[in-house]
Amino acid sequence: MKVRITRDDMMKITLFEKITGANVMDCISDDERIVFIVKEGDVGAAIGKGGENVKLATEKFGKKIDIIEFSTDLKKFVRNIFAPLKLEDVWVKKYGDDVVVYVRVHPKLRRTVIGNRGKNIDRAVNIVSRLSDVKNIKVVSEQRRNPRNRPSKFEKSKKSEKTSKEIENKTENRTENKTVQENLEE
C-alpha cells in the first residue's frame, strides 16, 4: 500500500498543513475539487473554527475542498469518505487477493452516492484503494431482507390496520344482516 504523490500534490499538502496545522496523509485532486485525507483526530483542526480553514484553502486553491478523516478501521474509513451521507451498513468481503467493500444505502440516496456518471463512487474507490487493499466499492440499495421471514414493524402495523378495518367491516355486515333479518321477521 504505497501512496504515490506528485510534486503538485506535495505542494498542496504542504500549503494545506500550513493553513490548518493538521497532518495530511494524502491528497487527491481533479478539475473541480481537492480531497485531503487527514490523520485520525485531525479533522477538527483541518476544518477550523466555523470552517475558516476550509474557506481559506478554497480561496488559495480556487477549488472546492473536501476533508476526510482516515481510520485504520476500514468500515469507519469508508463511512468517513461518504460523510455526511448516512450509510445503512458497510461490510467487507475478500475474493482471493481482491478486497471489495459493500455499502448499503437508502434507495433515495443511491444516486447521490454513485454521483453523476459514477463520479462520486469512482472518487471513493480511488481514495480507499490508495490507502488500503480495497479494489472496489459496490452500492446496495434494496430494502434489507428480513431474517426468518418475519414481518417488519412497518408490515405489522399495516397488517394490524388491515385487520382492524376487516373487523369493522365484518361487524357492520353482521349488524346489517341482523337488521335485514329483523325486518323480514316483522
Q: Is the pLDDT of residue 75 over 60?
A: yes
Of 74, 91, 79, nearest to 132 by C-alpha is 74
Q: Do the beta carbons of residue 27 and residue 35 sit within 8 Å? A: yes
Task: Tell me the mean pLDDT in the region 16-28.
Answer: 91
Q: What integer pLDDT is reported at residue 95 of this predicted model?
A: 87
Same fold, 1-70 and 72-144: yes
Q: Under CATH, domain 1-70 is a member of which superfamily?
A: K homology (KH) domain (3.30.300.20)
Helices (H), the chain: 7-20, 43-47, 52-61, 74-82, 110-114, 119-131, 153-185
Q: What is the C-alpha separation between 140 and 79, in angstroms, rounded?
A: 14
Q: What integer pLDDT is reported at residue 180 of this predicted model?
A: 46
Q: Does the reported pTM lie above 0.75? A: no
Confidence class for position 165, pLDDT limits 50, 70, 90:
low
Q: Domain locations in the chain?
A: 1-70, 72-144, 147-185
CA 132 → CA 58, 98, 99, 126, 140, distances in Å? 28, 11, 9, 10, 21
Q: Under CATH, domain 72-144 is a member of which superfamily?
A: K homology (KH) domain (3.30.300.20)
* Beta-bridge mates of residue 38: 24, 69
Q: What is the C-alpha separation between 124 and 78, in angstroms, rounded?
A: 8
Q: What is the C-alpha separation between 35 and 67, in angstroms, rounded?
A: 6
Confidence class for position 38, pLDDT limits 50, 70, 90:
very high
Q: What is the C-alpha separation between 126 and 137, in angstroms, rounded?
A: 10
- Joined grid coordinates for residue 4: 504515490
Q: Is the pLDDT of residue 14 over 50?
A: yes
Determine if the peptide bond prior to 84 is cis (ω within 30°): yes
Q: Is the pLDDT of residue 111 over 70?
A: yes
Q: Do the beta carbons of residue 105 and residue 85 sit within 8 Å? A: yes
Task: Tell me the mean pLDDT in the region 21-31.
Answer: 89
CA 21 → CA 43, 125, 144, distances in Å? 10, 27, 42
Q: Is the pLDDT of residue 67 over 60?
A: yes
Q: Is the pLDDT of residue 158 over 60?
A: no
Q: What integer pLDDT is reported at residue 141 of this predicted model?
A: 84
